[in-house]
Homo-oligomer: A and B are copies of this chain.
């Protein structure tokens, strides 16, 4: 998503969130990816969703393994109102820095299960954003971009490769080992591995050895 925003001509500010995830690997990876892309500013926001509980990604609930993809059921890894909180912070940063465009990396596979990844949700947020800020009232409305929304994971990987993304820097696993290696079995790993496999490629990110 960052590579697409850069290609579309934007000078990008990136925003990561520590929201009580089980692991900090994705935070470190996001910073590496931001630096590699030459962004103007990378901000990490601490948000304490852990005190609320209610998700396998933030509470002491096991991350499910080997689940069939895209069942239509909302997964237990859903984090309550997460994208709403993320987008609210992005809106605040955009207004303060004078930015009018917010990019969000949600995609088709996610929106099959998560309510806050659906197109109608994103349209409602954009509408809210156009009423919420001083900038919008003064004639600089926010545009929300979700360029990955309708792409399959394989299409996303291919687009990234075309734009020179080093997927060895990126992390997707919900439950990596202490060395930061992906588990290969959670939903996120399964979707990612299937995408690389569909393209006849291997994923350059580190995985725990098979059979563990």
Contact = CB atoms under 8 A, between A and B. Distances in A.
Contacts of A42: none
A88 B45 CA distance: 15
Given A88-B81, A137-B115, A96 B53 contact: yes
B128 A115 contact: no
Tell which of A45, A54, A96, A121 has the most Cβ of chain B within 10 Å: A96
16 contacts: A45-B48, A49-B92, A52-B92, A80-B96, A81-B95, A82-B92, A84-B91, A84-B132, A88-B88, A115-B137, A116-B131, A116-B132, A120-B131, A124-B128, A124-B132, A127-B127
Nearest to A19: B92
Interface residues of A, number: 43
Contact of A134 (B53, B80, B89): B80
The 10 closest A-B pairs by CB, nearest first: A81-B92, A54-B96, A80-B95, A85-B88, A81-B91, A124-B128, A88-B88, A84-B88, A121-B131, A80-B92
A133 B81 contact: yes
A83 interface: yes
Interface in A73-87: 74, 78, 80-85, 87
Task: Count copies of this chain in the complex.
Answer: 2
Contacts of A132: 81, 83-84, 115-116, 121, 124
A128 B138 CA distance: 23
Contacts of A129: 84
Given A46-B48, A74-B134, A134-B78, A128 B53 contact: no
A173 B51 CA distance: 29
Contact of A96 (B52, B115, B118, B134): B52
